[in-house]
Structure 1
Amino acid sequence: MSLSNVNVTANGFQLSGFTGSNFSLVVGSPRWQHDLWFTVVYTVGTVAVEMVLGTAIALVLERLKVGRGWLMALLLLPWAMITVVSAELWSYLYNGVYGLVDQILAPIAGHDVNLLGTPVDATVAMGVADVWKTTPFVAIIVLAGLVMLPGDVVEAARIDGANAWTIFWRVRLPLLRPTLAIAVMFRILQAFGLFDLPFVLTQGGPGTSTESLAMLGWRVMFQDLKFGPGAAVATTTAAIVLVGCLLFLKVFRAQVGQEETV
């Protein structure tokens, strides 16, 4: 569809010809460029925060001897919740009239606070909701990697006089790189396909400031009924994710190869 002229008829779709005009129309659009920039920045920001928080939570859980199972079960509740449901929950919290956030911040600000009313605030509010939901996923993956680390290497570093901070940065973190790479890959794939969270929280607003590539493709295809350009948006999004993941894996393998050589 992205490489064809698509006509909608009473009998369905009609694909005619071979054309690249859909891609030139999409890539040259300022709206597509804005949504690409927003999606990339949002993905990098949320994934970075989730990796830091998830690793910290995993380190705490690793040290627990009692109640780890219960805490892991509680930790997984946000992740198990359907994104649309969690987005509705956060929309109530962020409501500028009766939301809990407004009740807390309004006395300080002196007026009602609507965190979804400005582009920057709406982006940060979405990021907080995303981090709340997906950090447990990262924590569980990192915890699995921590449990599988060889204890003799850590013990040898401790005998050599390394403190806890040095052991983490010089021993445990390098050994965790494959696990962290898996977590980053999964989160990039999920975050770059951002749709349901902004769809419920902001509808891509204010204006189109929080509109992701997935939302743009949906709007072009199913609201504007421009199936050729909509398919081009989806295809370019998939291609960008594929190239990004391949580059990430290449860099990761090169780093691992250098460490093994050393």
Structure 2
Amino acid sequence: MGAGHAHPLYLARGSRIHRLAPEVKIVAVLLFTIVVVLTPPQRLAAFAGYLALVVVLAAVARVPALWLLKRATIELPFVLLAVTLPFFGHGERVDWLGMSLSVDGLHGAWNIVAKGTLGVLASLLLAATTTMRDLLHGLDRLRVPPVFTQIATFMLRYLDVLAEDARRMRIARLSRGYDPRFLWQARAFAVGLGSLFLRSYERGERVYLAMVSRGYAGRMPSMNDRRAPAGEWAAAATLPLLSIGIAALA
């Protein structure tokens, strides 16, 4: 339970970005994303500059480009939605390869794809250079309401336990002839899901009572109280400041 809880997106590379305090990285990525979102879609040069910044950061953090591209496919549903906008948009239209496309739809599709891709890449870089435990510590230092960080902490700590419980219940169903290919056997799955919920709820109550009996008062003790020095804040500020400069020049 006291492990670092390195999530599947974390890459242990030991780069300078990895060694930065988590709160400075969270703030830097947040400000960068805000600048990207506020940039008008017509400023193509600005988006090219933002992408160059992300590429440089990935190189400094030693995060492989192929690794980023594979995990960036999480935005494919939004890309597919954006592709439909030029066909169903209103207003002025242009002909391209025998197709009538809406100008407003083209701008909207580009806006979604460009800004969504940059946001996803920046978030992946944050996840690749920061463990989940450090992310929670960073949010706590940024004065995020404790109820959110506590819920995330408990979810992180017991996610593997719940997954193992679900796996054992599935094996038990299969040993009793359960076959998920048949629709009429969905009742067994629903019953198992309800049982897993009740079991998890009861475990949570027992854990909470045990914590209260040991002095828990609504806030988990921090094992690392190191505050980010001014130098790390200055280094992290490079990303949003450069993005603001790119937006201004574009």
TM-score by length of 2: 0.29
Higher relative contact order (CA 8 A, sep 6+): 2
TM-score by length of 1: 0.28
